[in-house]
Homo-oligomer: A and B are copies of this chain.
Amino acid sequence: MKFTIKFSPIGKRVIESRPRLLLDMAREEGVGLKSLCGGKGKCGKCKVMVNPANEPTAVERKLFTQDEIDEGYRLACCTTIREDTQVYVPPSSITEEQKLQIWGKEVEVKPFPPVRKFFLELTKATLSDTRSDFQRIKEKLNRKYNVKVENADSKVLNIIGPTLRDSDWSITVIVKGSEIIGVEPGNRTKESLGIAIDLGTTKIAFYLVDLLTGESINIYGITNPQIAYGEDVLSRIHYAGNKITNLKKLKSEVLKSINLAIKKICRESKAKYRDILEATLVGNTVMHHIFLGLPVKQLGLAPFTMATNKSLEIKAREVGLEISPGGYFYFPPPIAGFVGSDHLAMLIASEIETKEGNLIAIDIGTNTEIALKTKEKIMSCSCASGPAFEGAHIKHGMRAASGAIERVSINSKSLTVKVSTIKDKSPVGICGSGILDAISEMLRTGIIDSSGKINSGYKGVRKIKRGKSFEFLLAKEGRREITITQQDVSEIQLAKGAIRTGIEILLEETGLKAQDIDGVIVAGAFGTYIDPLKAVRIGMFPEIDIGKFNQVGNAAGIGAKAILVSKKLRGQANQLARRVEYLELATHSNFFEHFTSAVRFPPTK
């Protein structure tokens, strides 16, 4: 009997046919799991979460709390796997941080910060001038800077009095709109920090920003800890929709990680997290809803209605975010159930509204959002491209972690294969850009035909027969064989077919042809690593001149940053969110026609 072990977050799957010690298996398969004591159950470093979990050993009982035991935490060196098992490797147990694509092409944003600081030297209160502390500050702000405030945050009111008296009546006042959101002793007007967060299903990216210049001080990425409760948005909806405590758990897990990450990024930058004056967060609608504790059940059922499509501005402390006590947290609006504020932020970062011509902007992921901008309008849709490009549903697929094959080239005559891996480690599996490369090369060299079938006719050791179908061998490392299977090819066909369908329907709705497109903005981690030429070759994109492609990296994060530093852009983003027309693909009359054509590969030239 065979059983499958799935490692998250790296997305690696292993099929076994005999009971094996988890630590041994992880090492053999190249999963970077820590172990200091060499598997003696002493160091506790190889902590993982397994489901289903064995009865805990005495060592594990001693090492873990009852809550942890109940949640399935075990030591890999004490765990024998005998059946289908999910193994979650927490960040603390992983030898190397996953390759997190958080770089993004910077756009120049003129800072127009919604939070400003003012230095005031006040006259002391006397019996002939008994104005309240607030009144005294209010009048001086008006007189000196022509700034009108109406109220002060209730937590800040508590510290105004002592701060004034401890700093000899010279203070820095932090103002947002007509509210005083903070006071600091002395002159601190030169320091003004903000944080922009891109909350993805898999990764979370942080940008610590100087609000005065709009520049990033530090960039940081972590894995979304919710991965332990489901890899994609649908499994998160399912888990969170089951009961309210689950929703709260997902919310609190991600909040805890975000607070820790903010502290870490601040420590690295010699900043204090309490000095962060404002935060923004973008994400897909499910991430957005879960983070805010909004119900998500309805996002998983037709007609996929959001709780709200408004931007939100709330006190960070109301959400539990640990920044300045009076600071605000701004959430740009989601556009639709499957088109989130990350898509909106991407559109803002790519300045799609102000650019000339007909433009496509695309962010490839488990859900791929595509926008098409013409002279008249902007339409967006979401395609269920699935997780194949993130390495899931692919036999040897994995995320873009070290040891993942990311580039493949095949010699068309000898059919010899050259692969390169992330960090040049010996190959562990194959990640999204590697899969796209492999399929494209296999198509070019005739190993597969345009229906996707692996050609049984070609010769060489690379062809492996398993049961009735063939696999193509990309790399071999000891016992470990990394292959592309017929099933893998089909998965990629479905994925790229979904994306192409979205593009075709948008073109149809706007009356345009592929040659009318003046530019394609490709965003996101996967989108940045792919070779557009190969994406066109497998038909994921229509025939568009390669020079028109522009790979911009994590544009959602860059957009979140732009929205953080500019009040003006917030207004634009809100208008844009209302302007974007959401197109529901599933109910489009020509959906199946487009789809059946899009899953085929274009004929090789």
- A residues sitting closer than 8 Å to B (CB atoms) are 125-136, 150-152, 154, 157-162, 165, 292-295, 297-298, 302-310, 312, 314, 318-319, 336-337, 582, 584, 586-587
Q: Are A129 and B303 in contact (CB under 8 A)?
A: yes
Contact A305 B132 (CB under 8 A): yes
- Choose one: B136, B158, B165, B587; the contact of A128 (CB below 8 Å): B587
Given contacts A154-B314, A304-B130, contact A135 B298 (CB under 8 A): no
B127 touches A158 (CB 8 A): no
30 CB < 8 A contacts A-B: A125-B305, A127-B303, A127-B586, A128-B587, A129-B303, A130-B303, A130-B336, A130-B584, A132-B307, A132-B308, A133-B305, A134-B306, A134-B307, A134-B309, A135-B308, A135-B309, A151-B312, A152-B308, A152-B310, A154-B293, A154-B312, A154-B314, A157-B307, A157-B308, A158-B294, A158-B307, A161-B294, A161-B298, A161-B305, A162-B295
Q: Are A294 and B582 in contact (CB under 8 A)?
A: no
> Which residue of B127, B131, B152, B309 is within 8 Å of A584 (Cβ)?
B127
Q: Which residues of B contact A125 (CB under 8 A)?
A: 303, 305
**Residues from chain B with Cβ under 8 Å of A336 in the complex:** 130
Q: Which residue of B lies closest to A318 (CB)?
A: B154
- On chain B, the residues within 8 Å of A584 by CB distance are 127, 130
CA distance A130 to B301 in the complex (A): 12
17 more CB-based (< 8 A) A-B contacts, given A132-B310, A161-B294: A127-B584, A128-B303, A130-B303, A130-B336, A130-B582, A131-B309, A133-B298, A133-B308, A134-B306, A134-B309, A150-B310, A151-B312, A154-B292, A154-B293, A159-B295, A161-B305, A165-B298
Q: Which 10 residue pairs across A and B have the least CB separation, nearest first?
A: A134-B308, A132-B306, A132-B309, A125-B305, A161-B295, A127-B303, A130-B303, A125-B303, A161-B307, A132-B308
Provide the residues of chain B in CB contact with A582, threshold 8 Å.
Answer: 130
Kindly provide the distance from the CB of A313 to the nearest chain B CB, expressed in whole angstroms.
8
Among A128, A136, A154, the one with the most B-chain Cβ atoms within 10 Å of its Cβ is A154
- Expressed in whole angstroms, the minimum distance between the Cβ of A382 and any Cβ of chain B is 12
Report B-chain residues with C-beta under 8 Å of the C-beta of A133: 298, 305-308
Contact B157 A294 (CB under 8 A): yes
A127–B302 CB distance below 8 A: yes
Query: In whole angstroms, what is the CA distance A126 to B127 when docked?
Result: 67
For the complex, give the distance between the alpha carbons of A168 and B469 in Å. 53
- Chain B residues in 8 Å Cβ range of A303: 125-130
A136 to B310, CA, bound (A): 12
Scoring A126, A130, A304, A307 by chain B CB atoms within 10 A of each residue's CB, the highest score goes to A307
Q: Given A126-B303, A160-B307, A298-B165, decide whether A319 and B131 contact each other with a Cβ distance below 8 A.
A: no
Alpha-carbon gap, A307 to B130, bound state (A): 11
Counting chain B CB atoms within 10 Å of each CB, the highest count among A157, A293, A297, A305 belongs to A305
CA distance A318 to B586 in the complex (A): 44
User: Chain B residue with minimal CB distance to A317?
Assistant: B318
